[in-house]
Amino acid sequence: MLPRLAAATLIFCSASAAAEHDPHSYAEPGKVTQTALALDLAVDFDRRELTGSAELALDWHDAAARELVLDTRDLTIEGVDAIGADGRARTAKWKLDARHPILGSALHIALDAQVPKVRVRYHTAPTASGLQWMTPAQTADKKHPFMYSQSQSIHARSWVPLQDTPAVRFTYTAHVTSPKALRVVMSADNAAGHALNGDFRFSMPQPIPSYLLAIAVGDLEVRETGPRSAVYAEPSVVDKAAREFADTEKMIETTEKMYGPYRWGRYDILVLPPSFPFGGMENPRLTFATPTVLVGDKSLVSLVAHELAHSWSGNLVTNAGWKHMWLNEGFTSYVENRIVEAVYGKVQADEEFIIGADELRREIASTPPATQWLVPEVEDADDAASDFAYVKGAWLLRTLEARFGREAFDAYLRGYFDHFAFQSITTEQMLAWLKPHLLDKYPGKMSLDEVKAWIYGPGIPANAPLPASPQLAAIASARAAWLDGQRKAIDLDAKHWNTHEWMYFLDGLPPRLTAKQLASLDAAWHLNGSPNAEIARRWYLAAIQGDYRPARTEMAKYMTRIGRRYLVVPLYEALAKTPEGLAFARKVYAKAKPGYHPMTQASIEKVLDKPEK
């Protein structure tokens, strides 16, 4: 996933990772695990519901076990059948627990025997936390409704009753009916030529964890971008997306050269409406992506590098629980940067790394040390996605690369992906493999204690390697000269700055520029209303901090059009710091809310209800 939403609420406990029960699931995988899922669902846009059944094939591990516990959230259970070895279905007794605000409701199914399959008949709630139902008006083309899922971290349970923990893997098939003229796609084997007849079948033969279950339904067209890649998007967006993501095959080949074969068959990308709460989601075979990276110059396609990298780190080797999320996101951010370096060059890769490292250092300055570990205890699984998991995790791998040399580290990483392929692991399992296969193999380069200090300690060790960027250094001096009044905004020589250079320039502005400074910057470089979502985000943040009111109209349009949390939540947070800004934020939110995903709504309501001082 590419959320990069900082300031998560991390709850610090102890480091010991004894018997690893996933605290974010009611399932009991020690007793029984689901090995295959067969979904049969109807998509009802009028009622905003998925209706049908989920059949789970079971592998029993505990001879005494007679109960199956599944995760659910806001599902209406209509009935449960136990299916015997003879294929006969018998009604099973079940009980749904009271709803926990974060975890949902455990579904207890009482069984007379250890049956091979269980079928749950159910329908979802219109408010399902993992689904967004959009009216035609909320889509790009305004003709048809649209629905999509976001299951990570623990939202699969809001649309499928199952063991919703990354520790358990299963294959799946699905039969989905929808209104005709719409296309259904899933994190499975999509067929570009499928008739739009309202009747779709899917198969995902590789075992995946539940958070990679994904579905979308809408007016979707397809464009091939390579021999094993295509783009799905609304008709008005699909050509632009295919141009932006034209380097996909090059990226796949590059990654295969470094880390071994791509094991998922096709790699397609679905471009969602702008309300998608994340940058991207690595749903296997079909990455879900925000349209806010369609800039026209490929400058933000590191998003594709990131989601593609998850085909190795995350989807192939998976964190066994959400506190180990850095195994997914830190490894992926490292691989992402390596792909960017190979395809777009070292200058861009280094710029991207430095921008991320600067952001992490700002985050370190504003968070308690106890929350800066790579393996934090989090109350809500969604809060595990912090800059620490992403940037600090990647920085640790960059340190290992620097110490052991690229050749040795690449060979190690390729072996790691092979060894743990299609498994879910903890940080301790990663360390147990790292010690003999890298640290002890090349003694004296980096000790296990040093690695553990990164993982179980705060901040960033002082000797962490950071690349040098002459381009960014020149921008830092130009910025200083402008802030000192030695240079005019128009003389900044920014005509050839790329997206990252602009991001770096704006990130380094001090808070509370004067209205005169902001006006001169805007007059020279037309930042207000910038079509580049990353540049616009930073400009509006500077405008809020400097209370530059002429930016308000375009800012409100931006906040209403886009629902990606990383882009809009920080603006609400900055506005909420003054009573006047809070009132403006509330006004914008009232208008923008119907277009936001439930997760974005929840994040913003947290800010508006309890603004920080």
Residue 354 binds to Zn ion (criterion: CB under 5 A): no
Which residue blocks in 220-345 are alpha helix, DSSP H?
235-244, 248-259, 302-309, 326-344
Q: Report the C-alpha gap between 19 and 33 in whole angstroms.
A: 17
- Identify which range of 7-15, 34-42, 45-53, 330-338 contacts Zn ion by CB under 5 A: 330-338
**Distance in angstroms (rounded) separating the CA atoms of residues 6 and 383:** 9
Q: Is 5 in the site for Zn ion (CB under 5 A)?
A: no
Measure the CA–CA gap between 234 and 242, rounded to whole angstroms. Answer: 12
Q: What is the widest separation between alpha-carbon atoms in the chain?
A: 84
The region of 116-124, 213-221, 322-330, 538-546 touching Zn ion under the rule CB under 5 A is 322-330
Q: Give Cα separations from 262 to 73, 281, 327, 397, 553 (angstroms).
A: 34, 17, 19, 21, 46
| CA-wise closest residue to 361 among 507, 471, 538, 574 | 507
x-or-dash pattern for Zn ion, window 52-91, by CB under 5 A?
Answer: ----------------------------------------
User: 130, 111, 10: which is closest to 372 by C-alpha?
Assistant: 10
Closest CB 389 distance from Zn ion, rounded Å: 9
Catalytic residue among 26, 232, 390, 548: 390
| Minimum CB–partner distance for residue 462 and Zn ion (Å) | 28
Q: Closer CB to Zn ion, residue 22 or residue 329?
A: 329
Q: What's the min distance (Å) between Cβ of 91 and Zn ion? A: 42
Number of H helices, E strands in the chain: 18, 21
Query: Which residue lies nearest Zn ion, judged by its C-beta?
Result: 1
Which residues neighbour 36 within 8 Å (Cβ) at sequence distance 6 or greater? 56, 57, 170, 171, 172, 173
Using the rule CB under 5 A, give the single segment among 31-39, 167-175, 230-238, 326-334 that binds Zn ion: 326-334
In the complex, what is the shortest distance from the CB of residue 30 to Zn ion, in angstroms, rounded to a whole number?
28
Scanning 110-118, 325-333, 570-578, 596-604 for contacts with Zn ion by CB under 5 A, the matching segment is 325-333
Residues within window 419-478 making contact with Zn ion, judged by CB under 5 A: none
Q: Which helix (H) or strand (E) holds 68?
A: strand 67-72
* Count of residues that bind Zn ion according to CB under 5 A: 3
Q: Measured from the CB atom, is 81 or 329 closer to Zn ion?
A: 329
Among 435, 395, 444, smallest CA distance to 412 is for 435
Output phi, psi for 212, to 5 deg: -100, 5
Q: How far is the CB of 1 from Zn ion (least distance, A)?
A: 4
Q: Is 1 in the site for Zn ion (CB under 5 A)?
A: yes
State how far the alpha carbon of 525 is from the alpha carbons of 502, 519, 521, 529, in Å. 11, 10, 6, 11
Residue 390 a catalytic site member: yes
Q: Which stretch binds Zn ion (CB under 5 A): 62-70, 328-336, 515-523, 534-542?
A: 328-336
Q: In whole angstroms, what separates CA 234 from the centre of its chain?
A: 21
User: Closest approach of Cβ 320 to Zn ion, in Å?
Assistant: 17
Task: Name the residue nearer to Zn ion (CB basis): 129 or 332.
Answer: 332
Least separation in angstroms between CB 385 and Zn ion: 8
Of residues 8 and 475, the one with the C-beta less far from Zn ion: 8
- Output 315 or 332, the one with its CB closest to Zn ion: 332
- The distance of closest approach from Cβ of residue 281 to Zn ion in the complex, given in angstroms and rounded to an integer, is 8
Dist CA 587 CA 602 (whole Å): 17
Calpha distance 302→610 (Å, rounded): 34
Closest CA to 120 of 40, 180, 42: 40
Please identify, using beta-carbon distances, which residue of 132 and 332 lies nearer to Zn ion: 332
Q: Which is nearer to Zn ion, 208 or 518 (CB)?
A: 208
Which region holds residue 344: left if phi is over 0, alpha if psi is between -120 and 50, else beta? alpha
The nearest distance, CB 307 to Zn ion, in angstroms, is 7
Regarding 339 and contact with Zn ion (CB under 5 A), the answer is no
Planar angle of CA 301, 307, 309, nearest 5 degrees: 105
Stretch that binds Zn ion, among 81-89, 202-210, 331-339, 372-380 (CB under 5 A): 331-339
Nearer to Zn ion, 49 or 268 (CB): 268
What are the Cα distances from residue 58, in Å, to 85, 96, 106, 556?
Answer: 11, 20, 17, 50
CA distances from 597 to 57, 143, 412, 563 (A): 32, 19, 40, 7
Q: Are 579 and 546 in contact (CB under 8 A)?
A: no
Taking CB under 5 A as the binding criterion, the range among 35-43, 323-331, 350-358, 582-590 that sits at the site for Zn ion is: 323-331
Judged by DSSP in three states, 413 sits in helix
Q: Catalytic one among 49, 244, 282, 307?
A: 307
Q: How far is the CB of 2 from Zn ion (least distance, A)?
A: 5
The nearer residue to Zn ion, 1 or 478, going by C-beta atoms, is 1
User: Which span sits near Zn ion by CB under 5 A: 18-26, 332-340, 362-370, 498-506?
Assistant: 332-340
Contact predicate 215/148, CB 8 Å: yes
Q: Are 529 and 503 in contact (CB under 8 A)?
A: no
Q: In Å, what is the CA distance from 475 to each residue of 469, 500, 506, 523? A: 10, 11, 10, 19
- Does the footprint of Zn ion cover residue 316 (CB under 5 A)? no
Minimum gap (Å) between residue 332 Cβ and Zn ion: 5
Cβ nearer to Zn ion, comparing 1 with 77: 1
Cβ nearer to Zn ion, comparing 319 with 332:
332
The Cα–Cα gap between 258 and 418 comes to 12
To the query of whether residue 307 is one of the catalytic residues in this protein, the response is: yes
Q: What residues are labeled active site?
A: 307, 390
- Interface residues with Zn ion (CB under 5 A) are 1, 329, 332
